[in-house]
Amino acid sequence: MSDCVDTTSKFILLYLLLLLSPLAVAAQPLTITVSEYPPYHSKDLPSFGINAQIVTAAFESQDVEIEYIQMSTWKEAFDYAAQGKADAAALWEYNQAHKQDFLISDPVYKISAHFFYNRKMDFDWRRVSDLKGYNISALTGGYYGDAFEAAEKTQEIKVVRVYDEVENVKKLVDGSIDLAPLYITSFNYVLKTQGLGDRRAEFTYHPKPLFTNSVHLLMPKANPQSQYNMVLFNEGLKVIKANGALQSILNVHLNYR
């Protein structure tokens, strides 16, 4: 009889642990990988930058603490999280291929990238094929839309990938490249922080965006708690969109035009 009671008690305890495990996990700080992409992400910015502030605010509304893991490159940040070594990776532009390894959050906000170039250059484009013959520099791990990625892969267009957006901007300034797909905010931020603000008037960007995309939090499928954690984030995202906190962060920190 006692053996039967002990077995029953073990099953009840196991059931309670399984039932309460999401709550127990949620009570621990969630780890999120980031890398350098100021002013959106940076170890040198308050609260790790704009995107981290948004993610933190969303989780704080759900009483969840966050701990950021700074990685050397975006590829490392992506791979580390994909392996389930962190609870999430923040924030990434929507890419269908990410569904292989990650759950993808609701859209956080939209962002557009434009081709920057020296004003002295006669540049116009309507389709990716118009980019033939130009020297283009882009970010390693960056996603620039299906058409651009396909043309780069087939070498229809000439693209050099670098690990740092600062390098892209400096290449434009020194004339070693013709074009760089950049966010307006990022371009202006780099010029200011690198002491190149007086060169801003020499450059412009094409009004046609290379792409407009949404950014998302990624949570690894390898982590059994990801589905529960994603519900928390999406609920928190609704809260900060409704109360204006998300827009307030964007308004304050994206004023680099």
What was the pLDDT predicted at 244? 96
The residue-averaged pLDDT of 78-86 equals 97
Share above pLDDT 70 across residues of the chain, in percent, rounded to a whole number: 88
Rounded CA gap, 254 and 257, in Å?
8
What was the pLDDT predicted at 176? 96
Asked if the model's pLDDT at residue 207 lies above 90, the reply is yes
Per CATH, 2-110+214-253 and 111-212 having the same topology is answered yes
Where do the domains of the chain lie? 2-110+214-253, 111-212
What was the pLDDT predicted at 165? 87
Mean pLDDT of the chain: 88
CATH superfamily label, 2-110+214-253: Periplasmic binding protein-like II (3.40.190.10)
What was the pLDDT predicted at 120? 96
Rounded CA gap, 64 and 25, in Å?
10
Residues 97-155 have pLDDT tens digits of 999 999 999 999 999 999 999 999 999 999 999 999 999 999 887 889 889 999 999 99
Q: Please identify, in words, the CATH class of the domain defined by 111-212.
A: alpha beta
pTM to 2 decimal places: 0.77
234 backbone dihedrals φ, ψ, rounded to 5°: -60, -35
